[in-house]
Amino acid sequence: MGDLFDFWFEYRAVIPRRPFRTLASLAALVEAGVEVHFFGGNHDRWGGSFWDTDLGIPFHSEGAELELAGRRSWVVHGDGLTETKLGGRLIHRITRHPVTVGTFRLLPPNLGFWLADRLSGGLAEANRSEEAIARAAAAQEAYARALLDRRPELGLVIMAHTHRQALVEHRPGRFYLNAGQWMVDRQYALVDDREIKLVRWDR
């Protein structure tokens, strides 16, 4: 659901070294027959052909409609859709613009990754207050509810971005889901044909 990496950018012949063990684990899942999809988040949206060609994992830079345990589902990271601050909306547009991506690609990889490390902490700090997260979570839920109203064929809308775990039954049998924060809180969600469940990994 995105933000699996603090930063991801793939050049034509170079990928980040730091997440090697995570990539190897994902590759092992695919080789074992598990279907995996990756949705780029605001930290790791700049994916490319490496995901599909080398890992066998579809990379979704935007949202995608999937069938999950018999539920027609719209899945999207969510950045840029419900930003409550002008700065957040502006950063979203700038970082997704083809000129920005093309310019970054001209930087040597070591310089590009160093620059991303320097910027990512500062950009995230402005959005970490409890009030900002609460506003973003409320806006995200409102977006999901409106989408479920517009598209009655959907049984499930899954979003991330706020990392605020939530399961809301908007209409009988139709849900908004945010699996939560894996990196710190070890939260995730299970979806099967009987139920949708919020879970925390305690090991």
CATH number of residue 140's parent domain: 3.60.21.10
**Confidence band (pLDDT; 50, 70, 90) for 171?**
very high
SS (H, E, C) the chain: CCCCCCCCECCCCCCCCCCHHHHHHHHHHHHCCCCCCEECCCCCCECCHHHHHHHCCCEECCCEEEEECCEEEEEECCCCCCCCCHHHHHHHHHHHCHHHHHHHHCCCHHHHHHHHHHHHHHHHHCCCCHHHHHHHHHHHHHHHHHHHHHCCCCCEEEECCCCCCEEEEEECCEEEEECCCCCCCCEEEEECCCCEEEEECCC
Q: What is the pLDDT of residues 74-116, one digit of tens each?
A: 999 988 776 656 556 666 677 777 888 888 888 898 898 888 8
Structural domain boundaries, residue 139 = 62-82+130-203
**Confidence band (pLDDT; 50, 70, 90) for 24?**
very high
Whether 125 has a pLDDT exceeding 60, the answer reads: no
Counting other chains too, the contacts that 102-111 makes at CB distance below 8 Å and 24 or more residues apart are 104/9, 104/46, 105/11, 109/11, 109/14
**Confidence band (pLDDT; 50, 70, 90) for 23?**
very high
Whether 103 and 136 share a structural domain: no
Q: Distance between CA atoms of 151 and 54, rounded to whole angstroms?
A: 35
Whether 12 and 106 share a structural domain: yes
Q: Quick one: average pLDDT of 20-27?
A: 94
**Confidence band (pLDDT; 50, 70, 90) for 183?**
confident
Tokens read off for 58: 């579809």
Whether 51 and 136 share a structural domain: no
Query: Does 6 or 54 have the greater pLDDT score?
Result: 54
Q: pTM of this prediction?
A: 0.84
Whether 120 and 176 share a structural domain: no
**Confidence band (pLDDT; 50, 70, 90) for 175?**
very high
Whether 103 and 160 share a structural domain: no
Among the ranges given (36-40, 87-91, 137-141), the one the predictor scored with the smallest mean pLDDT? 87-91
Q: Quick one: average pLDDT of 145-155?
A: 96
Tokens read off for 87: 């700065």
Whether 48 and 99 share a structural domain: yes
Tokens read off for 105: 């690609």
Whether 25 and 110 share a structural domain: yes
Whether 68 and 78 share a structural domain: yes
**Which pLDDT belongs to residue 120?**
67
Q: Distance between CA atoms of 172 and 155, rounded to whole angstroms?
A: 9
Last residue of a domain, one of 106, 126, 146: 126
Whether 161 has a pLDDT exceeding 60, the answer reads: yes
**Confidence band (pLDDT; 50, 70, 90) for 182?**
confident
Whether 159 and 185 share a structural domain: yes
109 contact partners, CB below 8 Å, separation of at least 6: 11, 14
Whether 49 and 113 share a structural domain: yes
**Which pLDDT belongs to residue 92?**
63
Whether 50 and 66 share a structural domain: no
Whether 142 and 43 share a structural domain: no
Q: How many domains does the chain have?
A: 2
